Amino acid sequence: AGQLGLVTGASRGIGEATALALAGAGMHVVLTARDDRALEAVEEKIHAAGGSATIAPLDLAEPDSVARLASAVSSRWDKLDALVINAALLPELTSVTDINGKQFSQALTVNVLATQTLLAAFHPMLKAAEAGKVIGLTSSVGANPRAYWGAYGASKAAFDTLLSCYAQENAKVSRVAAAIVDPGATRTAMRARAFPGEDPNTVKTPEVVAEKILTLLRDGFVNGIKFRVEA
Ligand code: NJP
């Protein structure tokens, strides 16, 4: 059987580019995000390029959404070769004292809690693959705190910790490996919201990041490693 990949946040940006790259390399790709019409458009692009994909719309903030996704995927496939945990929310950039509690909580739910539920739910299918791989998209502000990026940065620091622990826990007992990718400034909707005055042409395209992710999946990597994608 061919390889199966699953990309969260596949409706736009780095997730969309990654889904297209994986499909271009011959994987069947499960595309998830909230916006079902955007997912359909990505699916069509993949089909037009001769690849194959399935959409699975879901809101990672909803309880049980990941469990429903995992049961739908495992009813159709018996293994998962690549899990790309890319979806994330960027809360409003503001001082720690002004953080909106509701937005902070949403970011922690989507960026952190859903990451744990994804890892737990897909772990059996990743173990069933010959060399199951997890790639998580982080941000430099997780490891290197930056003023006004506290809510998002705290979520990414927690995200890094979860993925690193997962990598260590698998190192000796399974063939599953996890890597963290720090994409750096990338031309997406999230970047445009954070830096509204920036000329988008001055930052790298999502395709550059997607190519790096594809290379990691294809060539393998040292379990637990963190990669920074340069401009
Ligand atoms: O983000 P954006 P990027 N449930 O906002 C989905 C990191 N990063 O591509 O639900 C399910 O364009 C959303 O889909 P939808 C960043 O932290 C980036 O720039 O339909 N899905 C969309 O597909 C993130 O981890 C830069 O709205 C949900 C996707 O997530 C990754 O790279 C720099 C969801 C977000 O697309 C991709 O970012 C850096 C939910 N509740 C790190 N909420 C950069 N771009 O410069 C959101 O250091 N999504």
Q: Counting Cβ atoms within 10 Å, is residue 197 exposed (0-12), middle (13-18) or buried (19+)?
A: exposed
Q: In Å, how far from its chain's centre is CA 153?
A: 16
Cβ proximity of 5 and 81 under 8 Å: yes
pLDDT in the model for residue 1: 65
Q: Which residue range(s) make up the domain with 163?
A: 4-228
Is residue 5 within 6 Å of ligand 1 at its C-beta? Answer: no
Cβ proximity of 167 and 223 under 8 Å: yes
**Which atom of ligand 1 is the closest one to the Cα of 140?**
48
Is residue 35 within 6 Å of ligand 1 at its C-beta? Answer: yes
State both tokens at 87: 């979806």
> Would you please indicate which residues are annotated as catalytic (active-site) residues?
152
Compute the distance from residue 106 Cα to the ligand 1 centre, in Å.
13
Q: What is the ipTM of this complex?
A: 0.99
Mean pLDDT, the chain cut into blocks of 10 residues (231 residues total): 94 99 98 98 98 98 97 98 98 98 98 98 98 98 98 98 98 95 98 97 98 97 95 78
Question: What is the crossing angle of helices 150-171 and 114-128, to 10°?
Answer: 30
Task: Name the pTM for this structure.
Answer: 0.99
Specify the CATH number for the domain of residue 181: 3.40.50.720
Compute the distance from residue 172 Cα to the ligand 1 centre, in Å.
32
Q: Which amino acid, one-letter code, is at 181?
A: V
How far, in Å, CA of 68 to CA of 220, rounded? 29
For ligand 1, atom 39: residue with the closest CA: 139
Best residue among 59, 83, 134, 137 to mutate for probing ligand 1, ranked by most atoms within 8 Å of CB: 137
pLDDT in the model for residue 231: 78
Best residue among 106, 149, 186, 230 to mutate for probing ligand 1, ranked by most atoms within 8 Å of CB: 186
- Order of strands across the sheet with 52-55? 52-55, 28-32, 4-8, 82-85, 133-137, 177-182, 226-228
Q: How many domains does the chain have?
A: 1
Q: Is 130 helix (H, G, I), strand (E, B) or coil?
A: coil
How far, in Å, CA of 153 to CA of 36, rounded? 28
